Amino acid sequence: MSVKQFIRNINFQMEALLLVAPAVIFFGLLVIYQLFSIDPYFSVSIPFILGNNIIIMQLGLFIVPYILHRFLRSREQGEYTFRIIHVLLSVFLLFAIMFTYQVVRPTYANYVTPIFDNKNDTKFWMEATMATYVILGAQIVVQIIFLMYSLTVIFPPKPKDAVVELSL
């Protein structure tokens, strides 16, 4: 196996992390929520910011960069280091956002409402903190930067024709 083939294989594994990491975290969190009696779907946070929903949202956010990674690799374009940094930073931010939630117990005795019909008063809630929103914003900025980079590599700007100046 040559060095170029090895780098291509490593690059494939790295770009696959964009799709594998959210799935692993999602199913891992389902197990953790059951073990620690956490109800990730009941809180006062915005619904799409809840624990599992944010993972699914980021999986959707990672699909376009994944396709761009595959396209750049197949055409052997773009800076390899930049692509690897993008994958590592994206996965790091995905893991980091899970540590920004605050696990709280409801402060009042009976929070059961007919809407949710939750019979278990012992479950904890997960509340998003300000750090959750900051990391989510950083993740969106990272994906936009990579999208702009990929599009400029795939469709490079055309060189302008030289302007001929006439002097008298």
Query: To the nearest whole number, what is the mean pLDDT of the chain?
Result: 78
Q: With beta carbons less than 8 A apart as the criterion, state whether 130 and 46 touch.
A: no
Mean pLDDT of 129-148: 91
Per the model's pLDDT, the better-predicted residue between 102 and 15 turns out to be 15
Q: Which residues of 113-138 are buried (b: 16+ CB within 10 A; e: fewer)?
A: eeeeeeeeeebbbbbbeeebeebbee
Burial class (CB in 10 A: 0-12, 13-18, 19+), 101: buried
Strands 124-127 and 102-104: antiparallel
Mean pLDDT of 131-144: 92
Which pLDDT does position 66 carry in this prediction?
Answer: 92
Measuring CA to CA, which residue among 36, 30, 57 is closest to residue 46? Answer: 57
Q: Where are the beta strands (DSSP E) in 75-134?
A: 102-104, 124-127
d(CA 63, CA 60): 5
Per the model's pLDDT, the better-predicted residue between 53 and 119 turns out to be 53
The separation between CA 45 and the C-alpha centre of its own chain, rounded to angstroms, equals 19
Residues 6+ apart with CB under 8 A from 133: 49
pLDDT band (50, 70, 90) for residue 38: low
* CB neighbours of residue 18 within 10 Å: 24
Using one digit for the tens of pLDDT, what is the confidence trace for 63-110? 999 999 988 888 888 888 899 999 999 999 998 988 887 766 665 555
Using one digit for the tens of pLDDT, what is the confidence trace for 140-162? 999 999 999 999 999 888 777 76
* CB neighbours of residue 99 within 10 Å: 10
Is residue 125 predicted with pLDDT exceeding 80? no
Output the pTM of the full model. Answer: 0.73
Q: With beta carbons less than 8 A apart as the criterion, state whether 22 and 59 touch.
A: yes
Q: Which residue has the tokens 């594994």?
A: 13
